[in-house]
Structure 1
Amino acid sequence: MNIDLEHLSPEMIQVAVAVFLIRLLIWLFYANTVRKTLLLVAPENRLITPNQAWLLAVPLFNIYWNFVIASRLADSLTNEFYDRKIAEEENPGRAAGNWYAWLFLLTNIPLPPFILITFFLLSITYFIVYWVKVSNFRNLLVEHEKFRNTPKD
């Protein structure tokens, strides 16, 4: 399928730009969730700096960076949960993060449309699952921090 870029209507260009900007905005919100989670992890337990989470919003580079985040965030959370003595799953979020990273990679490979649509839908599903898991881990760390800072009678 060839797309004649010279004869695209202005409406088609506007839709393409709008879809790109919405996708970028979603990636920025997601990166901010990862960054906020990493800010709650003690610096000695981090395997990645919080500001490196913003690299998730860089198109094309984020294909690789999703794998890095899935691995290093899980290891950072493991270290933090161990130090805080919080009982949580082993390698928190790594499986969902890796599934999302692989499916996102596959959606960026030129494949037949029916396969791409399948990978895209699965990618969105695992993206949401992983984002919710990361958000839940952040909430767990916030609640634990409140508990640790409560004065004891």
Structure 2
Amino acid sequence: MTISECPRTPEQRKNDVLARLDKELDIWVASADEHGLPCLVALWFVWDGKAIWLSTRTTNPTGRNLRDGGRARLAFGDTQDVVLIDGDVETYSARDVSGAAAEAFLEKSGWDPRKDSASYAFFRVRPLAVQAWHGQHELRGRQLMRDGAWIV
């Protein structure tokens, strides 16, 4: 493979990440249990401009890991357009989630977890670190957010 493209500027990478957060429906969610056993699933999500909202059952491994571990790594599926997001997780019951977050989730996904099983919860992932790159030629400068603040 020959790389002929110039690397994107950090500003363009940030804009591309924000665009994907707005348009994509699914995001990969990586979590681990107390023994370090990893779990990776794709979930629907919504971006509210500050945090990523997910919903899953608290009775499955991902829900337990997010609730108990309080950390997650999120990624989009395209390996030629990598976005990695590490963040802190807060858990909200269907009854305690903000109406705005739940309604945004419903509008984007067409599904309302509040009207499904009582075991569904919402998880607010506050990004602490964001990286983005297209191949080897963009590894330099891939860090766009550090300690919860955009560095771009």
TM-score by length of 2: 0.26
Say which structure is richer in strand.
2
- Taking CA–CA contacts closer than 8 Å with sequence separation of 6 or more, which of the two structures ends up with the larger relative contact order? 2
Normalising by structure 1, report the TM-score: 0.25
